[in-house]
Amino acid sequence: MMPDTSLVAITVGLLYLGSAACIYRILLTYRTAQGAIAWIISLLGLPYVAVPLFLVFGRSRFGGYIKARRMGDKSLTDLLNRFERQTTSLSTPDQAQLDKQLQVLCKLGRQPFTEGNRCTLLRDGEATFEALIRAMENATSYILLEFYIVRSDKIGQRIKTILENKLAEGVQVWFLYDEIGSVGLPRIYLKELTAAGARVASFGDGNIRRRRFQINFRNHRKLLVCDGKIGFVGGINLGDEYLGTVIDQEPWRDTHCRIEGPAVTGLQLAWLEDWNWASNEFPDLDWAPEDNIPGDERVLVFPTGPADTWETCSLFFLNCINNAQSRIWIASPYFVPDFQIVNALQLAALRGVDVRIMIPEKSDSQLARLAAYSYLVQANQAGIGIYQYQPGFMHQKVVLVDNHYAAVGTANLDNRSMRLNFEITAITTSESFVSKVDAMLTEDLINCRKMTEHDYEGRSILFRLTCRAIRLLAPLL
């Protein structure tokens, strides 16, 4: 039987009506012209494919989260404002002493640089898990966890056992994970933690209505806070791959940071915003900054995400690159920057800044690895050094600006971190910490191979076309 022509006409009409609605939203909210044009062409040419894809992948802002932050929960807003006031006495006595590039980061992150901290650079998975485990075992009041990926392997089971033991001692545990990053985590793992008394939530629990059509966004943060006194942030998730014990898998090279002092409250507040979104709960804890001053380092906790008013992660990288005087070294497992970042890196190199980008030769994302090759000609012509780390998969996210400051966190040099992921970074101006980051990256660079234009131009035309084609997918990588 031939289909009813009127039904076909209605279906096609509804598709194009939906397409028009999507285009209307794009024109009001787009962040990049290239992405907007690509979506509009797709919606006009293939609406039956593009409309459902846009509903899943096309959102540019994470709706609901910022409303919960600024309007939905007065207690949360009051707490954020109180932290800014409370840390005034703990921050630089005269904030004007901070140069402008650091002052603007305070405004973007809505947190101050705090004095009196002590930071420890954790250079690999073994050092990180040893420090994480020791902090959790010594916790006496509460433990806050937030990780993008949680696995039920040896390290994941060990963490769960420690948490269950602490719960038996009366320590409170809040466990937040990303349900997409942790898609392979067995439900029994979470059920056993909940049965032991832990409060467990994924970045979407309790908010199914608000979260609909927003699954392209990720909570990529990795942090731990114990008793409000010790905090951790960096690139390491809860999995055996960071220890190099997974059979038939390359060892992962990553970096984390341990923080003691008033900056830990900044980590707590970032966790609290995420927890409040995920569970609609407001834990009754003492959120005042720690009075005891363990060190003399100045630290800024810098959370970024798609609910922010500005593109805070992009602006962070641009601020670092544009203000670098002698060098900017960036370690990132994924190098798929947009034209703004590329232009900023080129300008920095042309004015004589030592620009080095460290990426892995072996990667868990072949698309991102191939896309990186397409930047080699532009980079080499400007004097940007791109280095491939050889012994295993380098997953660290580290930035070093001159001898001025260093940053360790979760943000990659790609569109997903810039615009789609919730990320968090610790920035410190401590000479001692900066020196340790310098030594670490210098040692890593010894284990790298500097790439040249020949790595791209010397390959087959098919390889080059593939790299360029994949680069077009940058907004989704």
Give the residue among 21, 93, 31 at the shortest CA–CA distance from 61: 31
Residue listed under structure tokens 């008013």: 309
Measured CA distances, 342 to 313, 314, 338, 375, 449 (Å): 15, 12, 6, 8, 21
Residues designated as active site? 220, 222, 227, 395, 397, 402
The 3-state secondary structure of the chain, one letter per residue: CCCCHHHHHHHHHHHHHHHHHHHHHHHHHCCCHHHHHHHHHHHHHCHHHHHHHHHHHCCCCCCCHHHHHHHHCHHHHHHHHHHHHHCCCCECCCHHHCCHHHHHHHHHHCCCCEEEEEEEEECCHHHHHHHHHHHHHCCCCEEEEEECCECCCHHHHHHHHHHHHHHHCCCEEEEEECCCCCCCCCHHHHHHHHHCCCEEEECCCCCHHHHCCCCCCEECCCEEEECCCEEEEECCCECHHHHCCCCCCCCEECCEEEEECCHHHHHHHHHHHHHHHHHCCCCCCCCCCCCCCCCCEEEEEEEECCCCCCCHHHHHHHHHHHHCCCEEEEECCCEECCHHHHHHHHHHHHCCCEEEEEEECCCCCHHHHHHHHCCHHHHHHHCCEEEEECCCEECCCEEEECCCEEEEECCCEEHHHHHHEEEEEEEECCHHHHHHHHHHHHHHHHCEEECCCHHHHCCCHHHHHHHHHHHCCHHHC
* Nearest in space to 360 (alpha carbons), one of 370, 346, 348, 375: 370
